[in-house]
Amino acid sequence: MKTDGIDMLAFSSPHYVADLPRGHVFPMRKFSWSATWIDRCGLGCVVEPGRVSREALHRVHTPDYVRSIETGEYNPLTALRLGLPWHPTIHRRAMHATMGTIAAAHAALRDGIACNLAGGTHHAFPDRGEGFCVFNDVAVAIRELQSIEPWLQVMVIDLDAHQGNGTHAIFRGDANVMTYSAHVGRNYPSRKEPGTLDIELSRMASTDEFFSRVEPTMIESIELFEPDLVFYIAGADVHEDDRFGQMKLSSRAMRERDRMVMRYVRGWGIPCAVVYGGGYNRQQGMTAWLHTQAVWCAAERWCIERGLTVPDLPDLTMLVQMTSDDDPADDVETAQPQALPATA
């Protein structure tokens, strides 16, 4: 039952789902499940973004690396650290998901808020992929915007449980880009790349620790930097049941996190592009719902700003039911994990 939705753009494509060996640990179906649910619940206008150009990719990634993803001839570091066995759809997925973040950035600059129902692949470096991240979508989008408007001030608010090492390395020394990251200090990636501001949280960080460390530093960073655009990486792996995040936020605390970001960023009138980041819950359906919840928070803000009725928070039970009917035998819980890089 599709409901009349709101006009906030939410970019997605059937190509966001790539083929992986059966039982692979990466929860690929969260992308199609959450997009379907967001569309059905009317949380946004789901739009196909198309594929990113080679020219845009080359502003961040080396031509050799881009070619290796096209052909499947991974370089040794990518082969060791990416964690996604090559398939033509791995390349296709990365092209579309990267374009989704570019499209969301343009839409946010025009409309105030927009989402990419994927993205936040912040471990990708110019010459290699790591931790399930093929292309660094946020970096490609920032370089694309800078090619049009060189002085645009862009802030990345990265609240995934893992540090965005690739993004930090790419923008080191770029005074027009501020990288703010709050993540577990002693977790993947083992070697951190300094960002503009890193908030290192303890293992199994609680809700109290998270908000007491993040809220004041994030506000101060926004006030000092005065960005023209924010990319918000709303990682779902901070959830208490995530397998890799090593944090202890409940679904409700995550909702308050996402609302906090929207409240401050949009409170200053700053355009905000929301992307997914990681999420590896014990149940894939739960991961899909947590990403959906982040989009709901963006939709809520969209409605508040326009005096519209806020849609109901999507029902978790119905989503889990829908996803468990899909193919329960393929659930990661019942399958053997493949070789895993330290994770995204």
The reply on whether position 160 binds Zn ion by CB under 5 A is: yes
Q: DSSP assignment, residue 61? A: S
Cβ burial, residue 209 (10 Å; 0-12/13-18/19+): middle
Report the DSSP beta bridge partners of residue 176: none
Site for Zn ion in 278-337 (CB under 5 A): 278
Site for Zn ion contains 131 (CB under 5 A) = no
**Known catalytic residue: 123?**
yes
> Is 132 in a helix, a strand, or coil?
coil
Residues 191, 175: Cα–Cα separation, whole Å: 23
Give whichever of 61 and 162 is closer to Zn ion, judged by the CB atom.
162
User: Which residue stretch of 214-222, 261-269, 271-279, 291-299 sits at the interface with Zn ion (rule: CB under 5 A)?
Assistant: 271-279
Map residues 27-46 to x or -, x wherever contact with Zn ion holds by CB under 5 A: --------------------
Site string (76-115) toward Zn ion, x via CB under 5 A: ----------------------------------------
Q: Which residues contact 30 (CB under 8 A, 6 or more apart)?
A: 279, 284, 287, 288, 291
Residue 26 or 33 with smaller CB distance to Zn ion: 26
Residue 162 sits in the site that holds Zn ion (CB under 5 A): yes
Residue 119 sits in the site that holds Zn ion (CB under 5 A): no
Q: For residue 182, state whether it binds Zn ion (rule: CB under 5 A).
A: no
H/E element holding 300? helix 284-306
Stretch 202-241 residues interacting with Zn ion (CB under 5 A): 235, 237
Q: CB-side exposure of 142: number of CA atoms within 13 Å? A: 32
Asked whether the beta carbons of 252 and 148 are under 8 A apart, the reply is no
Q: Does 344 bind Zn ion (CB under 5 A)?
A: yes
* Residue 189 contacts Zn ion per CB under 5 A: no
Query: Which residue has the closest beta carbon to Zn ion?
Result: 278
Given a contact cutoff of 8 angstroms between Cβ atoms, the answer to whether 45 and 6 are in contact is yes
**Catalytic residue (choose from 15, 96, 122, 123):** 123
Cβ proximity to Zn ion: between 25 and 56 the closer is 25
Half-sphere exposure in the Cβ direction for 176 (13 Å, CA):
13
Between 91 and 123, name the residue whose CB sits nearer to Zn ion. 123
Q: Closer to Zn ion by CB, 115 or 184: give it.
A: 184
Instruction: Look at the alpha carbons of 295, 300, 304, 307 in this order and tell me if their dihedral is positive or negative.
Output: positive
CB atoms within 10 A of CB 199: 18
Active-site amino acid positions: 123
Q: Using CB under 5 A as the criterion, which residues of the chain lie in contact with Zn ion when the complex forms?
A: 160-162, 235, 237, 278, 344
